[in-house]
Amino acid sequence: MLLFSLGLSVRADWPQWRGPARDGRTPETFPSSLIPAAAPQWHLTVAHGYASPSVSNGRLYLLDDAGGMETLHCLEVATGRELWRETIGESYTDEFEPGPRCTPLVDSDLVFVQTCRGEFQCRSVADGKRLWRFHFSDYGAEWVADKGANVGAASRRGNAGSPLVNGDTIYIQIGSVNGASIGAFEKRTGKLKWKSQNDLTAYSSLVSGRLGGVDQLVGATVEGLLALRPSDGQLLWRVPFRTGANRNALTPILANDTVYFSSHTTGLRATHVKPNGSGVTVEEQWFNPQIKINLATPVLVGGYLYGQGPARNFICVDASTGQQKWSQAGFGEVTSTLTDGHRLLLLSDRGEAILTEANPEAWKELGRFQACGKTFVHPAYSDGVLYVRDSRELVAWRLGTPLP
């Protein structure tokens, strides 16, 4: 078994990209050390894909490339037994692994899925029945066959940015330059509430929060960072910057009226949002052009950012100044990082699960084990179980005793 000395105090689902609040944080308690297990709780053969698993109410949802079609699977979390599966659209492939890139989003009795080519669907968690759908091309988004074209990354390499639910509304990055870069829809009917902006879509996922006293929907497009008013899509602010290959992959981090974001060509920045009459204005808090993070979003713990660095390393950055505190060598291109607010649980692209302290003074490793094969897929963590995926298998590793 994987043993730990501190019991879990909270059970939490992992219903969307990067967890309950889309910040890589779980309300559960990680182990104080890792001891390799003889075998996982269960493992299941899956087809290719980069989409992360989502866990909600005793079920796990996974997208893969099954028989040349992007397919949604609903599994029983206790055993890995498949409850139902549904095909959602034509598969996509390039010189990398074929299959879907976008993590399923579960909200109550609904699950939302999106294909690489822009098919968006709402389905019932009970049986997978499709409730509503649309295609990004319905709003003028174009799929570009030339993967090397100098256009938006998502329109030539696959839509990967996850939608976001807030109340009865789901916000979706469509990527149309015809006034529908981002759209808001009634989550149960698919009725359009508003559409806004002309930005091409990158790979980044939307987040929301209250900054400068104003509720905001924040995203990173091909054009840079932007924020919209959630109620009507009105533009609140922009921080323009362009990147190589016209892509942005990280998810913005929101905290203390500040947006933290890094691109692979410009670097890591902190944008402060301040009240300005009935609206807001933004200013650069700091900018570190040396920290050019490519694919993996850091986590914020106690005023410090922890995550994949730009030089196949793992780093800690002071979130108040942008200065790097330390660097740990020995990592690859992608390291997924989760936190419980005290410790960090990493998954390297070599498939190693690594437990460390969230310590701004130095790297403090608490243990590691081989969780899966080579992977770029962000894991899920729910009820003491770490769910990891490589190109062949989905694996469930129990890290503690389940709550009664």
- When pLDDT is averaged across residues 60-68 and rounded to a whole number, the result is 95
The whole-angstrom separation of Cα 71 and Cα 98 is 12
**In this structure, which amino acid lies at residue 327?**
S
**CB contact at 8 A, 369 and 34:** yes
Query: 131 or 148: which carries more pLDDT confidence?
Result: 131
pLDDT for the residue numbered 148: 65
**CB contact at 8 A, 16 and 105:** yes
pLDDT above 80 (res 36) = no
pLDDT for the residue numbered 327: 98
Residue 338 β-bridge partners: 345
pLDDT for the residue numbered 31: 87
- When pLDDT is averaged across residues 112-116 and rounded to a whole number, the result is 96
- When pLDDT is averaged across residues 265-293 and rounded to a whole number, the result is 96
**CB contact at 8 A, 20 and 55:** no
Of 128, 154, 131, 132, residue with least CA distance to 141: 154
Query: 192 or 4: which carries more pLDDT confidence?
Result: 192
Tokens 């074209």, residue located: 149
* pLDDT tens, residue by residue, 295-354: 999 999 999 999 999 999 999 999 999 999 999 999 999 999 999 999 999 999 999 999
What average pLDDT does the chain have? Answer: 92
pLDDT for the residue numbered 147: 61
pLDDT for the residue numbered 10: 61
Tokens 């790097």, residue located: 324
- When pLDDT is averaged across residues 139-167 and rounded to a whole number, the result is 80
In angstroms and rounded to an integer, the radius of gyration of the C-alpha atoms of the chain is 20
Which pLDDT band holds residue 93 (cuts at 50, 70, 90)?
Answer: confident
375-385 burial string, b = 16+ CB within 10 Å, else e? bbbbbbbbbbb
3-state secondary structure the chain: CCCCCCCCCCCCCECCCCCCCCCCECCCCCCCCCCCCCCCCEEEECCCCCCCCEEECCEEEEEEEECCEEEEEEEECCCCCEEEEEEEEECCCCCCCCCCCCCCEEECCEEEEECCCCEEEEEECCCCCEEEEEEHHHHCCCCCCCCCCCCCCHHHHCCCCCCEEECCEEEEEEEECCCEEEEEEECCCCCEEEEECCCCCCCCCCEEEEECCEEEEEEEECCEEEEECCCCCCEEEEEECCCHHHCCCCCCEEECCEEEEEECCCEEEEEEEEEECCEEEEEEEEEECCCCCCCCCCEEECCEEEEECCCCEEEEEECCCCCEEEEEECCCCCEEEEECCCEEEEEECCCEEEEEECCCCCCCEEEEEECCCCCCCCCEEECCEEEEECCCEEEEEECCCCCC
The whole-angstrom separation of Cα 173 and Cα 183 is 6
Of 86, 63, 54, 59, residue with least CA distance to 75: 59
**CB contact at 8 A, 387 and 55:** yes
- When pLDDT is averaged across residues 355-377 and rounded to a whole number, the result is 96
